[in-house]
Structure 1
Amino acid sequence: MLSDTEMMIRLLSAAALGSLIGFERERLLWAAGIRTHMLVCVGSCLVMLVSQYGFTNILTHDHVVLDPSRIAAQVVSGIGFLGAGAILVRGEIVKGLTTAASIWTVAAIGLAVGGGLYLAAGASTVIILLILAGMKPLEEAYRSRNQTCMLKVGVENNALTPELLREALTLRPSQVKRFLVESRAPEGIDELSILLSKVSSQDIATYPDKLQELDGVRSVTVVKRVKDRPAGMT
């Protein structure tokens, strides 16, 4: 049977490790912050302790065999309800996937501490913090270079073609996703809707000036700018 001192050390260690990851989420003002991560980690640790040592009296009976991993396994599947609560859908954008993943990994850390795997739990905490905080600047830098924008361009009839657009903005053919003439005004002005992808925020800011230098271009407006979210990043 585990001593009371060792049991307290494991529970407090789980609370401390969970708070470190929770602080990183709290810093970004996500709903699941320090307290949520601490509770998940301590709760998982407690479940692991119960799974390992909560049935020692029953094991003294004849023909009784228990699998201590069965209760712990329910934490891995059951923590999904908290993850679902952390995910928000705003229009076409899904937010909170990273926080949901951090809650799930904190549960695993709690199970590891409950099982006495201090090195694995501590190393996992450091790795998770590096992923959450250290990878953020790299992720933002990648996204700033991979955005999608919509341009509304007013031009004289047939004054702007896809080839001329790519040449003026130094674009690859694959970056022009849509080149559509939405309307033709009686005075001979076409309203173009142009969708570009994989362009940087710095380039988007220069597009209106570059296009207005072309003959026949009357107006250019950036009406939509959406960050492309690469798979696996949130």
Structure 2
Amino acid sequence: MTQANNVAPLFRDLAKVEHEHHVACQSCALYRLCLPLGLHSDDLAQLDKIIKRSQSLSRNQSLFDSQAPFKSIYVVRSGAFKTTISASNGREQVTGFYFPGEFIGMDAIYSQSYQSTAKALETSSVCELPFERLQEFGAAMPQLQVQMMSRLSKELSSDKNLMVLLGKKTAEEKMATFLVSLSRRFQDRGFSATEFQLSMSRGDIANHLGLAVETVSRLFGRLQDDRLVRLEGKSVTIEDLEALQKLCG
């Protein structure tokens, strides 16, 4: 079994073990990717008391819905999620994909209501951070406020990158950029940069990139013919990462 095939089960097993033993933030395998990084141990222990660790969400189960009152920020603990917004004509736009250690719901802080609907792409779990309690802690913990600002900045950067991706790049550049982005995100989580699973459907990918599903399938076929990637079901192997990066435009 390849490392790519092991990614999702490992995250699910990790979450199960940590739920059963109530592991604190500092002992979590995702600690270095998450909000509490850099806090003193006493502060971290206090913060850990307000974090709610969810039971598993099944595939397609909603974490929150658009326009629901904002109460908490969520950190993906295992599995993966997608966020969508609904246009006036009823069509949905996939605005993002989220993996372990990444935050969901940050864009709701200003409006005090969630701006999108978040659904699990597979069996998943989250850590819930009640925002009012976070604010209380932030007043006494400058490092926590720094981390919050850093996360907000990252959200803004991602939004701008998506605008460029959808508006300025060719279909081939969009696909290459998407795969390279996933590669980097999996590498940040300690997994292979060249072997991973696509937890989202091709329809979701097409929607996110502003392409037709047929175009996505054709692009995957072209990348395979050029021996840049290899696909087996939902498993992706990047065979020439440098060449793929050059295609990003």
TM-score exceeds 0.5: no
Q: TM-score range by the shorter chain?
A: under 0.3
The TM-score, its normalising length taken from structure 1, stands at 0.23
Higher-helix-fraction structure: 1
Larger Rg: 1
The TM-score, its normalising length taken from structure 2, stands at 0.22
